[in-house]
């Protein structure tokens, strides 16, 4: 039997879920304001399925589509099993569509002959799909490469056929991780730029201000934000950071038409003005034309990694990740590493923060808003105490339901004896269930691994 952990009860009344990149990226909450009665949702694992082949397969981001189904993106190295359109073992973008019974509708692999990995997918207002990741290929579906890894943006039909694709980068390691739809029908991409390899290139004339951003090169890696038109053409690019590693993993468009990028920073110079430790959460707020409005470091003297963000119910922002600190902004450390949630006000001030987990290593990878006062967090845990009751192996997949003040309403973990991770989750409003994705290396306790690592899809009643 698959391991389960239950705490308390779910909130009774929720609205339709929004995604990793909040109300613009996968605008589930904004597309339907009808309330959903979750009175019968008990927080039990109903169904779990492995997807993949005999090699390495992973699903990292998902969204609920307007037709009531689900699409997810990640990467695959397999050429067998559920992978039917791939002949070589290099990594390719992998996009799947499935229904609320977890039945596969279609599967597509996209890329070339080198390393190509999808990171996030969104649905557009007219039912197309758009995704971001990174690519080393310059053949197959990829019509160019500037160096090592480039950002690779793709736009797909509802059936997974490529409509547009674009690589963006310079000669170094440039990787795209976040995407959001924009109010003008375009897209905003976030990730990091190898600014040393680019020789300081990567900043363009910004929008309506007409200001030039000819910046000195900072260092190893920078937050890199790229505004695309609806056509997929680059409108402008901006980078931010210091002389060490600064990496953005998520972005949302804010209510004023600007953008908020989140990730982590190792730097203590240039754009970073108040560093705390080795790595900090770092939030960068841009005006609509790409000018820096404010930035904020968060953390303690050790290491913090931020992976996702969303809007809160009071014009603020939630940022989620993990912390290994026991000082600074981290007021209640629990274990070796904790899931860490911070709430920022509209101008980037720290309103409050909370840690979740147990006495071992715990991390959070995604946060979604379920309604104005309820949120779900997806991650993984090695603990069996405090917020966790049991642990089946090295890492268990872990879901948390919290209220608007960060209080835990429900905690569920499940896994086998090996590494099992929850990467993303959305609400299926039609059935009042949670549908999620992740990965597993387990071969026991209900996990039927087909290879080195499988993607998993699961349903929570």
Which pair of structure tokens corresponds to residue 43? 């927080």
Tokens representing 278?
């080795």
Residue 121's contacts (CB-CB under 8 Å, 6 or more residues apart) are 26, 61, 62, 63, 71, 72, 73, 95, 129, 130, 131, 179
pLDDT of residue 142 exceeding 60: yes
What residues have CB less than 8 Å from 253, skipping those under 6 apart? 22, 24, 180, 181, 182, 183, 188, 259
Q: Is a pLDDT exceeding 90 seen at residue 215?
A: no
pLDDT given at position 218: 66
CA 382 to each of CA 13, 111, 191, 435: distance values in angstroms, whole numbers, following the listed order:
31, 34, 28, 22
Rounded Cα–Cα distance for residues 49 and 85 (Å): 20
Determine the Cα–Cα distance for residues 155 and 440; give it in Å rounded to an integer: 28
Averaged pLDDT score across all residues of the chain:
89
Supply the pLDDT for residue 42: 67
DSSP for 223-274, written as a single string: EEEEEE-TTS-EEEEEEE--SSBEEEEEEEE-TTS-EEEEEEE---STT--S
Instruction: Tell me the pLDDT band of 35, cut-offs 50, 70 and 90.
Output: low
Which pLDDT does position 214 carry in this prediction? 52
Assigned superfamily of 13-460: YVTN repeat-like/Quinoprotein amine dehydrogenase (2.130.10.10)
Q: Are 295 and 285 in contact (CB under 8 A)?
A: yes
Residue 371 is predicted with a pLDDT of: 81
Nearest one of 458, 401, 390, 457 to 96, comparing CA atoms? 457
Least confident among 8-17, 53-62, 246-255, 277-286: 8-17
Q: How far apart are CA 123 and CA 327, in angstroms?
A: 40
Non-local CB neighbours of 381 within 8 Å, separated by 6+ positions: 357, 358, 360, 361, 362, 363, 388, 391, 395, 396, 398, 413
Q: How far apart are CA 249 and CA 365, in angstroms?
A: 10
Which two tokens mark 435? 């549908």
- Give me the DSSP letters along 56-101: BEEEEEEEE-TTS-EEEEEEE--SSTT--S--SSS-EEEEEEE-TT
- Tell me 28's DSSP state: H
Each residue of 38-85: pLDDT tens digit? 555 567 899 999 999 999 999 999 999 999 999 999 999 999 999 999
Average the pLDDT over 372-392 and give the result: 93
pLDDT band, residue 97 (cuts 50/70/90): very high
Task: Give the model's confidence band at 381: pLDDT under 50 very low, under 70 low, under 90 confident, else very high.
Answer: very high
Distances (CA, A) of 316 to 178, 415, 427: 19, 34, 22
Residues facing 71 on adjacent strands: 63, 97
Instruction: Write down the pLDDT at residue 34.
Output: 46
Coil, strand or helix at 29: helix
CA distance 111 to 352: 42
- Looking at residue 24, its pLDDT comes to 39
């Amino acid at each position: 039997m698959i391991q389960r952990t239950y705490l308390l009860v779910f909130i009774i009344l929720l609205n339709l879920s929004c995604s990793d990149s909040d109300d613009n990226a996968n605008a589930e909450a904004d597309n339907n304001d009808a309330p959903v009665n979750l009175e019968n949702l008990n927080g039990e694992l109903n169904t779990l399925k492995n997807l993949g082949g005999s090699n390495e397969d992973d699903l990292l981001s998902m969204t609920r589509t307007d037709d009531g189904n689900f699409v997810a993106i990640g990467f695959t190295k397999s050429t067998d099993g559920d992978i039917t359109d791939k002949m070589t073992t290099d990594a390719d973008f992998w996009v799947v569509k499935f229904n609320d019974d977890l039945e596969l509708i279609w599967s597509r692999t996209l890329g070339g002959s080198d390393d190509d990995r999808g990171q996030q997918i969104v649905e557009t207002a007219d039912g197309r799909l758009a995704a971001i990741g990174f690519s080393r290929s310059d053949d197959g579906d990829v019509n160019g490469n500037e160096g090592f890894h480039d950002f690779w943006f793709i736009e797909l039909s509802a059936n997974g056929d490529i409509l547009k694709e674009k690589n963006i980068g310079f000669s170094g390691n440039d990787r795209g991780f976040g995407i959001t739809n924009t109010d003008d029908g375009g897209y905003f991409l976030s990730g990091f730029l190898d600014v040393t390899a680019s020789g300081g290139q990567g900043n363009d004339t910004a929008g309506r201000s007409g200001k030039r951003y000819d910046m000195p090169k900072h260092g190893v890696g920078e937050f890199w934000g790229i505004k695309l038109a609806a056509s997929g053409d680059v409108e402008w690019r901006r980078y931010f950071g210091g002389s060490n590693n600064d990496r953005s993993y998520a972005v949302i468009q804010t209510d004023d038409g600007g953008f908020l990028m989140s990730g982590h920073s190792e730097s203590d110079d240039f754009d970073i003005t108040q560093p705390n430790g080795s790595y900090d959460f770092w939030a960068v707020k841009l005006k609509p034309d790409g000018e820096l409005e404010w930035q904020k470091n968060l953390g303690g003297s050790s290491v913090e990694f931020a992976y996702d963000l969303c809007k809160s119910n009071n014009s603020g922002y939630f940022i989620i990740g993990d912390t290994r600190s026991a000082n600074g902004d981290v007021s209640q450390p629990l274990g070796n590493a904790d899931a860490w949630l911070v709430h920022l006000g509209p101008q980037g001030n720290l309103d409050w923060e909370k840690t979740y987990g147990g006495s071992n290593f715990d991390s959070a990878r995604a946060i979604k808003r379920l309604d104005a006062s309820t949120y779900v967090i997806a991650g993984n845990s090695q603990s069996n105490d405090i917020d966790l009751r049991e642990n089946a192996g090295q890492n268990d997949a872990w879901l948390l339901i919290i209220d608007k003040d960060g209080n835990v309403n429900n905690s569920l973990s499940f896994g086998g004896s090996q590494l099992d991770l929850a990467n993303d989750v959305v609400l299926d409003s039609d059935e009042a269930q949670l549908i999620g994705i992740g990965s597993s290396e387990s071969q026991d306790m209900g996990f039927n691994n087909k290879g080195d690592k499988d993607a998993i899809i699961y349903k929570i009643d």
